[in-house]
A and B are shown apart, each in its own frame.
Chain A
């Protein structure tokens, strides 16, 4: 038994550098996953309701123009609806995860949800305040561990200005002299999800909604 998941996100910072190398529907190997995949898997397998090994990630659909969906594609309702509309083969995922940045737009989540309400695909739309990096920097202890260098901020990630968390993390990674993809993924692997949820309300909401949606989509995991 497996749970087929696809992840759409802003860019390679979330989904890793391998996006677009496989045909839509093909399963991604572990080393092809990005920080967002790792976080999604950890959220789903929390509480042992869904075994981590059962969460399988697949290459998502591309935009109608044929490119890997990024940032603004996900805010375009006509494009997003298509990205969530699969035909039979490749088989549709059990859950599609859309992870976008709020970028200061408070209504973004409700706008995206309203626009895709009639799409039958089981989906979770997570909107990070202000951006995905806010989730990654939330657990200072684990960020320090991943960087191999001290990392601390005095402000709560969700109170930061737009791009502040992104730039803070980028600078810290550059100072540490490490590869951004590896550090981001390592943070996603190490971070204490409860700490992140405690500091980022958007992540707490996303985590709860993701698990609920996945369990509803895959009834056998509830037995």
Chain B
């Protein structure tokens, strides 16, 4: 598990020290640096000269501190990457910004055990999981979206391609093509399949997971991702970092899982603030806010709001 991540000179992240929990939720206004943090976490993110802090810094420095030690990476855009120290491999990070339209696309049939960044190979991933996993996946999806009783992959008229299909709850002979089902259904299918990826990544980052989801489903999604992050589902624990603007999502996360992002008034660099969940002052404050992170955040008393 990545316990902390320090990044210097990457985009708006002049010097950011981020403590990570199994499930971490980044909250902040537009432009606060959430996407930059997600990009920086992934060692494989390609770095351009304009990614340097204020276009003037010389190198980007990142340090991942994991259970087993530290991994340091120094990147000078345009220069050859300096090899990492032997025995210190950076965590494998999967960055997702799932897009229902891409997730609906037909796939050229091939084995795929990792979901693509926008979910473009979802049909292949669903087709590649084991029969038992596919049954589980269908059960989970259909309990969340009870319009359906099964999800499967079916060949299309275009040779060598297949796509997802969803079985109607009231008429078992009726199967819906991806274009006929909601964005939320597509997204949930993508989120559910994450537990079956092989090999699992060390960490998954997800931008705006709340898009197109009903608040009830959002709660289910957060619970599923938390279980994934704790190793309660899936092949092993996969850390998860979410970036969101959604007050609804905040209702379902724990205070200690949230990091509020903002900008420093002096130099505009991204700042991060965690909730001191065990502090008696916090507990009194949180009690007054009826233990609602949504309310506390929207009041502006925790940072991570526009204008900050």
Find the residue from B289, B298, B301, B307 having the highest chain A CB count within 10 A: B301
B171 CB to nearest A CB, Å: 43
Q: Give how many A residues have a beta carbon under 8 Å from the other chain's beta carbons.
A: 24
Whether A86 lies near B308 (C-beta < 8 A) is: no
Write the chain A residue with the least CB distance to B265: A26
Write the chain B residue with the least CB distance to A118: B288
- Flag whether B281 is at the interface (Cβ < 8 A): yes
Write the chain B residue with the least CB distance to A22: B307
Write the chain A residue with the least CB distance to B298: A66
A82-B288 in contact given A24-B305, A87-B281, A87-B282 (Cβ < 8 Å): yes
- Residues of A within 8 Å of B298, CB to CB, are 62-66
- Residues of B within 8 Å of A89, CB to CB, are 273, 303
B114 CB to nearest A CB, Å: 38
- Flag whether B182 is at the interface (Cβ < 8 A): no
Whether A61 lies near B303 (C-beta < 8 A) is: no
Separation of A82 and B296 alpha carbons in the complex (Å): 9
- Residues of A within 8 Å of B305, CB to CB, are 23-24
Separation of A45 and B308 alpha carbons in the complex (Å): 29
Interface string of A11-38 (1 = CB under 8 A from B): 0000000000111111000000000000
- Flag whether A88 is at the interface (Cβ < 8 A): yes
- Flag whether A201 is at the interface (Cβ < 8 A): no
Whether A64 lies near B306 (C-beta < 8 A) is: no
Q: Which residues 44-93 of A sit at the B interface, judged by CB distance below 8 A?
A: 59, 61-66, 78, 81-83, 85-90
Whether B300 lies near A62 (C-beta < 8 A) is: yes
- Residues of B within 8 Å of A23, CB to CB, are 262, 300, 303, 305-308
Whether A85 lies near B285 (C-beta < 8 A) is: yes
Residues of B within 8 A of A (CB): 247, 262, 273, 281-282, 285, 288-290, 292, 294-296, 298-303, 305-308
Residues of A within 8 A of B (CB): 21-26, 59, 61-66, 78, 81-83, 85-90, 119
